[in-house]
A = this chain, B = another copy of it.
């Protein structure tokens, strides 16, 4: 079992080394989009399932509360938090609509959807992206594997950050680092520090 643990560390490190080649440019583009969105008075909606719901909430918590520096709260909403709303939508309509219905209610032109899925194929994330497009929002997609159906929904002006791995756990580990990079970039651009 000790060997399996060491192998997981080795795999996780290797996936980050591969990602360090592929991802800094799309991350920088996504951070620029988010900065412009926030400067324009808009907000960021985030969503994901399972571990990616945790990531969506981790991102909104860093914006609403703080990441590393002291600054004013920034507008973000994770769409996986309101279990009363989610169980009502899933029960009355379908689980696939739990995020899209919230986006029809809350999304404004110029807002960003941060859509997180390791497979790129989760039905409720696809419907969330379609809802965002119909609300004139732009999309930052965190994906993995071959990008799935989400990759096919990207328009000019959207950004896909696709982790080069086929293993869900390894992809999630890089997604968390990507989220930290986005928060760091937003903070340092909006609130430059003397260093």
Spell out A's residues near B (CB within 8 Å). 1-2, 4-6, 8-10, 12-13, 16-17, 19-20, 23-25, 27-28, 31, 50-51, 53-55, 57-58, 61-62, 65, 67-68, 81, 83, 168-169, 172-173, 176-177, 180-181, 184-185, 188-189
Contacts and interface: CB of A to CB of B under 8 A. Distances in A.
Nearest to A51: B58
A50 B2 CA distance: 30
A54 B62 CA distance: 12
A146 B48 CA distance: 33
A19 B9 CA distance: 8
20 contacts: A1-B28, A1-B31, A4-B185, A5-B23, A9-B19, A9-B20, A9-B24, A13-B13, A13-B20, A50-B65, A54-B54, A54-B55, A54-B57, A54-B61, A58-B172, A68-B168, A68-B169, A81-B83, A172-B180, A173-B180
Task: Tell me how many chains of this kind the complex includes.
Answer: 2
A143 to B, nearest CB: 18
Given A169-B68, A180-B169, A20 B24 contact: no
Given A4-B181, A176-B176, 5 more contacts: A5-B24, A5-B184, A50-B58, A54-B54, A54-B61
A66 to B, nearest CB: 9
